[in-house]
Structure 1
Amino acid sequence: MGIFKNISLQQLWRGAVTTFLAYPLVLLSAFAGTAAAIFNSELSYDQRQEHLYLEKFMLVCALGLILFFTLELLVSKYKLRLHWQASLWLAGLVLLVLYFWLLPLELEQRHWLRFLMLALALHLAASYAMFLNRRDENAFWQFNKALFLRILTSALYSGVLFIGLVIAVLAMEELFSVDIDGAFYGQLWLFMVGVFNTWFFLAGVPTDVQELEHTHLYPKGLKVFTQFVLLPLVTLYLLILYAYFGKIIAQWAWPEGWVSVLVLCFSIAGILSLLLIHPIRFEEGNTWMRTFSRWFYRALFPLIILLALAIWRRVSEYGVTEERYVVMALALWLFITALYFLFSRQKNIKFIPITLSVVALLAAFGPFSAFQVSEWSQVNRLEKLLQESKVLVNGQIQRQHPPVSGEVEEEVSSITDYLARTHGFEALQPWFAIDLEDSLAAATDSLGNRWQKSFATRDKVLDLMGLEYNSGQRDMGRQHFYFSTQHSGSGNAVQDIRGYAYAVQYSYRTFERHEEQREFQLGAVPMIVSLEKEGSVLYFKFEQETLTLDLLPLIKKLQKKQHELVSPADMTLTVEGKQVKVKLALDELNGVEETKEGNYRVQSIEASIYVQLQE
């Protein structure tokens, strides 16, 4: 117990209050974001669709946490007066409100990617915010060492405390028969990560630059970790990559795309190693560290070439996407960083976070961002394919055109699917005589789900081109099917319920880990609805009897319909037993056909079920 002999609850309370007063908006961001995450965890899928703003709010809180932390570091360094501090707070709040306002209600992949870029830029900015226009490199290293160790310590304390509390709650459940909601454990984890971890981390952040500059402590554990764990791993990566580099030269073949991930992992681990050994690399007895730091960037050049070849092959074949843009940007940054540390006299390690944060910002915003460049690349690729196939002539789409090969139709389908999910079709408007926005809006007016909207807009654009969606998966032995009454604009059709006493809404999605069976109470009679695992048969189990409804004949019938436009009548089935009659009105049916085996597997259902119990 010696570790706690000089600690009192009063001291802990004073420390917590002091930390809150030092970083009020940081902790308020953590509180608000955690509360939103906990509230969101209590909602069902349908309820989350009604509270989509919660995702936006959580993103803003996450950015606010690191933004206000960086601003507080600036306040601490320059010892700004209260009115300047309030001005920085106000500026930060305005930026966050603007970001929240600009985000759409339904977040898409590009919004999450831009968020990650912003978060990376802000985290990097926090590492050097107090050290701009200064040459105190030791203070910069000591500060980031402290942050690194504090992050690890916070994670350890949060994890241990979480496990301890979970065991305590489980003990209460077992010993005292206390009924604890299963969602409590997830919410406890959110609290530990969002509030406790943040608060504990902030309590140990150093802010005295002068004191840091005169500190020359180097933890022995950090040296052991770097020398005996990180550096050997980096060396192993290096040997593997150089062996592969030799293989592709000997075979005179293009590198595999996956090698990009390995090169980036090697580069990140190597740069992290260099940063960790920076103060002691030239000390006596550290010959291996000195050799590593001297040769790392030289060894990086062939791997940068390997990385460039791998990503260039993908870009030349399939154009630029946001993910490929990120890899290209990192490859360029690695090349510039290697040049700097090889030929610059200063070799200031602050160059790494400063330049990387600039790259992240440029990739997130502006005319040369990942999103603008990717859209431009894919639209140009689509234009070339359509011109070669005589679908686009003199800048105008010709709905009547010569037959298009399956390979071209597959590529066109892939690009339109990408544009529907990521950018929309505004860039294609000059190709069409009609107002494309109005046409697509009419096709999606009745749709609530963004995935349904992207499918509908993709199919509509292809239809206007005189083409059909071709995923290319049938030749690979797998074909997805998706049918929806809402695609035809009849998703809100009125159902005839004459002859039925009960109506319930049924939803099943395998990818959301819904329960395999759902129970409904029809007066005093329970009804259990379940879907055959890895199949297409629905079961309706009552006390009187069990009815089965095979959806396979319906799926095969609907597959013959073009563009997957179906009416409510097409997706309505009935099944009748001796004492029960059931009517199934499907709104959405989605799944996979394993074409080689001839198997069909339903993955999601949205439907209304009408039941009549015979007396």
Structure 2
Amino acid sequence: MGFFKNLSLQQLWQGAAATFLRYPLALLSAFTGTAAAMWLTELDYDQRQHHLYLGKLILVCALGLILFFTLELLVRRYRLSLRGRVLLRVLGLALLVLYYWFLPEELLDEHWLRFLMLALALHLAASYVMFFHVPGETAFWQFNKALFLRILTSGLYAAVLYLGLIVALLAVDNLFAVQVDGETYTQLWFFMVGVFNTWFFLAGVPADVQLLEVSPTYPRGLKVFTQFVLLPLVTLYLVILYAYFGKIVVEWAWPEGWVSVLVLCFSVVGILSLLLIHPIRFEEGNTWMRTFSKWFYRALFPLVILLALAIWRRVAEYGITEERYIVMVLAIWLFATALYFLFSRHKHIKFIPITLSLVALLAAYGPLNAFQVSQWSQVYRLEKLLEQNRVLVNGKVQRQHSKVSEAVEREVSSITDYLARHQDLEVLQPWFAVDLQEAFAAAAAPDGNRWQRSYAARDTVLHLMGLEYRTSLTTPDEQYFYFSTQPYDGAEVVHDIKGYTYALEFGLRSFEGGVDQREYQVGKAPLLISMKEDATTLYFQFEQETLSLDLLPLIKKLGAKGQDRISPEKMTFVLKGKDVQLKVVLAELSGRQKKQKYAVQSLLADVFVAPGP
């Protein structure tokens, strides 16, 4: 009963209102972004194409939430006047408006990655903006410890409440036959994450820096978590990585690219552990923590070298991409961080978030940002490839040239595909006599989306080079093919069913030495669909007769043209029997060719059944 006596709805309301007054623009950003996300779930694909601004609005609101939170921390730390607060908020709004204005309607991978780097920089800035002129690190550590625990608590509350409400909705749906749309569950998740979680988190943010200078008792749960969860994980990663390091030294081989992921995980978990144990590492009884703090950065040096070798090998073979750029920059930052904590006299832990936020900001918008450097690298690779194969002579593409190898065509295809997806093919204009923008516009469908436009641009450039598009899966001995009638945007294909009584969808997979089959009931008669060992012929077995569809001529015809997206008409077949007629529309067809032998590995198709003539 004591719990209910202490529970006051008025106190809850007053606390929520006070939080809103402290962070009004941050919460308004959360409300707006959540509303936009919930609205987006109500729209189908065609409607979303007319509301592309919603995606932009969600990104802007997500940035606005952390930006206004950071600005409010500055307001409270330096006790700005009303005029100062207004000017700071207006500046924040202006920056968000500019960000929204320069975002295109159709967001590319580049814009999402820039958003993530900018969001990381803002999150890190929120951890240190109040402590530039605060001597010592007690307040800084206490503030970030409070944020860390508040994030975990708010996430736990939001998840539990969401699961509870989901069960309640399911109960209403099943017990009272009240239909609950599937979108409702998604919208509820957006509300819990965007509104409840944000509001709950902001309500627990420490306000007074001076009070944070007082060092309270270190949370026992945090110590247990760090000592018995994080530190053993770091030790395990360290053992695995040093064992692998010894293996490549003995074998004198290049490290695998995947090792970079493990090195970064080790670094992140290790640095987080160091930050969490920072205040108590020298206390009596914490010998293990002191040892870890002393040797972590020393142990990091060989692993940074391992990371650099792994990424350098990938860059030497395939050039720089945004992902490789980020790994390279993180390797440099880890090396600089290790040097700082080993040789600096001060060893301020504020060094970590300050420098990492600057790295993220420069990687997104600096003069040598990830996107510009990646473009330069890939264009340089393409230029050298074309020059070596006499496709590019004296800075101009020669469409008539000697035949190039399939390996070169695959590499050129990979680079042009990358540049097309990033809308960077226009930088190749000096190599061509024709206007590339006009050529791209002529090749693309008038109502095509950005994926269709990028693929049309890629194929146009390859055509002007006198080359064919070849996927990276293709090898001289074995080639893979994939054909689909599905548009790049994922829109559904509508079929004409006039004259047919039944319709069904099926999928089959082939495997060596086996038969895949599906059985259906068509009216009162059974239908068995199978693909036998030859893996290129479909069989439709009724009680009275069996019809077959040989896919080999189609595969050879389409494969010779190097196509992947096919019009439904080219993938439609009518099979006529004595007592039944079928129309088969292949939606997806994939497989492999080894030498002159073809095999279908999987297919998806629609079948329409009608009585025979």
Normalised by the shorter chain, which TM-score bucket? 0.7 to 0.9
Q: Match for residue 151 of structure 2?
A: 151
Question: 1:423 and 1:506, CA in 2 relative to 1: closer, same or farther beyond 3 A?
Answer: closer
CA distance 1:286–1:33, shift in 2 (3 Å): same
Residue 250 of structure 1: how far off its partner (Å): 1.0
Separation in structure 1 between the aligned mates of residue 550 and residue 446 of structure 2, nearest angstrom: 25
Paired residue for 1:319? 319
**More off after superposition, 56-65 vs 34-43:** 34-43
Q: Give distance in 1, aligned partners of 2:259 and 2:293.
A: 24
Q: Report what 1:507 is aligned to.
A: 492
- Structure 1 residue 610, shift from structure 2 partner: 12
Aligned length: 583
1:532 to 483, 507, 517: 507
Is 1:459 the counterpart of 2:459? The answer is yes
Distance 1:477 1:24, change over 3 A: farther
Preserved CA contact (<8 Å) 1:519 1:527: no
Distance in 2, Cα, partners of 1:280 & 1:294: 14
8 A Cα contact 1:568 1:585, kept in partner? yes
Displacement of 1:529 after TM fit? 4.5
CA distance in 2, matches of 1:600, 1:240: 37
Displacement of 1:35: 1.2
Cα distance, 1:601 vs structure 2: 3.4
Q: Which residue of 2 is the match for residue 492 of structure 1?
A: none
Residue 200 (str. 1) matches residue 200 (str. 2): yes
Q: Which moved more, 1:590-599 or 1:423-432?
A: 590-599
Q: CA deviation at 1:242?
A: 0.9
Aligned partner of 1:530: which letter?
E
Whichever residue aligns with residue 16 of structure 2, its letter is A
Q: What's the secondary structure of 1:560's corresponding residue?
A: helix
The 1:565/1:146 distance shift into structure 2, 3 A limit, reads closer
Aligned to 2:535: none
- Taking a change above 3 Å as real, the CA distance of residues 568 and 349 of structure 1, as seen in their structure-2 partners, is closer
Distance in 2 (alpha carbons) for counterparts of 1:332 and 1:298: 15
Deviations 1:431-458 (A, max 9, x none): 1111111111211142522222222111
Matches within 5 A, 1:27-426: 27-426=27-426
Change (3 A) 1:329 1:565: closer
Tell me the amino acid that sits aligned with residue 320 of structure 1.
I
How far apart, CA to CA, are the structure 1 residues paired with 2:301 and 2:393? 45
- Deviation of 1:79 (Å): 1.5
Which whole-Å CA distance do the structure 2 matches of 1:130 and 1:604 have between them? 61
Aligned pair 1:598/2:591, yes or no?
no
- SS of 1:448's equivalent in the other structure is coil
Instruction: Give the alignment's TM-score, normalised by structure 1.
Output: 0.86
Name 1:470's counterpart in structure 2.
470
TM-score normalised by L of structure 2:
0.87
Q: Is contact 2:150–2:204 with CA below 8 Å preserved after alignment? A: yes
Q: Is the 8 A contact 1:459 1:563 kept in 2?
A: no
Alpha carbons of structure 1 residues 336 and 604: separation in structure 2 relative to 1, 3 Å: farther
The alpha-carbon deviation at position 89 of structure 1 amounts to 1.6
Offset of 1:506 from its aligned partner?
8.3
Q: CA deviation at 1:173?
A: 2.6
Equivalent position SS for 2:482 = strand
Contact kept? 1:363, 1:369, Cα under 8 Å: yes
Q: Is the 8 A contact 2:57 2:100 kept in 1?
A: yes
Q: Distance in 1 between matches of 2:486 and 2:434?
A: 25
Could you tell me which residue of structure 1 aligns to residue 437 of structure 2? 437
Q: Distance in 2 between matches of 1:268 and 1:521?
A: 57
Alignment partners' CA distance in 1, 2:33 and 2:313: 41
3-state DSSP of counterpart to 2:410? helix
Cα 1:187–1:402 shift into 2, 3 Å:
same
Task: Answer yes or no: is the 8 Å Cα contact 2:52–2:106 preserved in 1.
Answer: yes
Where in structure 1 are there 5+ consecutive unaligned residues? 488-504, 509-517
CA contact (8 A) 2:502 2:610 kept: no
Deviates more, 1:29-38 or 1:558-567: 558-567
Counterparts in 2 of 1:472 and 1:220: CA distance versus 1, 3 Å: closer
Does the CA-based 8 Å contact 2:591-2:600 persist in structure 1? yes
CA contact (8 A) 1:592 1:600 kept: yes
Q: Distance in 2 between matches of 1:94 and 1:208?
A: 29
Query: Would the aligned equivalents of 1:30 and 1:65 in 2 still touch at CA under 8 Å?
Result: yes
* Counterparts of 1:47 and 1:36, CA distance in 2: 14
Gaps of 5+ in 2: 511-515, 528-539, 541-546
Counterpart residue number, 1:479:
480
Task: Identify the residue that residue 13 of structure 1 maps to in structure 2.
Answer: 13
**Distance (Å, rounded) in 1 between the aligned partners of 2:389 and 2:398:** 10
- d(CA) in 1 for partners of 2:38, 2:605: 26
| Corresponding residue for residue 561 of structure 1 | 561
Tell me the distance in 1 between the aligned counterparts of 2:556 and 2:243.
51
Shift of 1:576: 7.2
- Contact 2:485/2:565 (<8 A) preserved: yes
Q: Deviations over 1:298-348 (max 9, x none)?
A: 111111111101110110111000000000000000000011111111111
CA distance in 2, matches of 1:217, 1:604: 65
Identity score, percent: 63
Question: How far is 1:568 from its partner?
Answer: 8.4
Q: CA deviation at 1:479?
A: 2.2
* DSSP 3-state at the match of 1:469: coil
**In the alignment, is the contact (CA less than 8 A) between 1:60 and 1:100 conserved in 2?**
yes
Is the deviation greater in 118-127 or in 43-52?
43-52
| 1:471 positional shift | 1.3
* Distance change >3 Å, CA 300–CA 439, structure 1 → 2: same
- Relative distance call for 1:568 and 1:296 in structure 2 (3 A) is closer
The alpha-carbon deviation at position 268 of structure 1 amounts to 0.6
CA contact (8 A) 2:507 2:605 kept: no
Aligned partners of 2:322 and 2:370 also within 8 Å: yes
Q: Name the SS of the counterpart of 1:282 in structure 2.
A: coil
Q: Is the 8 A contact 1:544 1:579 kept in 2?
A: no
Q: CA deviation at 1:170?
A: 2.1
What's the offset of the Cα at 1:544? 10
What do the CA deviations read for 1:444-491 (whole angstroms, capped 9, x no partner)?
14252222222211111011001001114243856243467999xxxx
CA contact (8 A) 2:311 2:327 kept: yes
Q: What's the offset of the Cα at 1:40?
A: 1.4
One-letter code aligned to 1:207: A
Decide whether aligned partners of structure 1 residues 6 and 251 sit closer, same or farther in structure 2, where only a CA change above 3 A counts.
same
The DSSP-based 3-state class of the residue aligned with 1:256 is coil
**CA shift in 2, pair 1:576/1:31, >3 Å:** farther
What is the CA distance between 1:187 and its match in structure 2? 1.7
- Give distance in 2, aligned partners of 1:431 and 1:462: 13
Deviation at 1:406, TM superposition (A): 1.4
Tell whether the 8 Å contact from 1:230 to 1:273 is kept in structure 2 after alignment: yes
Mapped contact 2:502–2:609 kept (Cα < 8 A): no
Q: What secondary structure, in the 3-state scheme, does the structure 2 residue paired with 1:5 have?
A: helix
Of 408-417 and 571-580, deviating more is 571-580
Match of 1:105, SS state, is coil
Structure 2 CA distance for partners of 1:375 and 1:4, relative to 1, 3 Å: farther
Contact 1:529 1:538 in 2 (8 A): no
CA distance in 2, matches of 1:590, 1:55: 30
Other structure's SS at 1:532 match: strand
Equivalent-residue separation in structure 2 for 1:549 and 1:28 (angstroms): 62
1:551/1:420 CA distance change after superposition, 3 Å: farther
Deviations 1:11-70 (A, max 9, x none): 111111111111111111111111111121222333333322222111111111111111
Q: Relative to structure 1, is the Cα distance of residues 543 and 43 closer, same or farther in structure 2, using a 3 angstrom cutoff?
A: farther
Is the contact between residue 526 and residue 542 of structure 1 (CA under 8 Å) also seen in structure 2?
Answer: no
> Is the CA contact 1:158–1:192 (under 8 Å) kept in the aligned structure 2?
yes
| 3-state secondary structure, aligned to 1:345 | coil
Which deviations, in whole Å up to 9, do the C-alpha atoms of 1:258-289 show, x marking residues without a partner? 11000000011110000000111111111111
Compared CA separation, residues 106 and 583, structure 1 to 2 (3 A): farther
| Deviation, structure 1 residue 581 | 8.9
How much has 1:206 moved relative to structure 2? Answer: 0.5
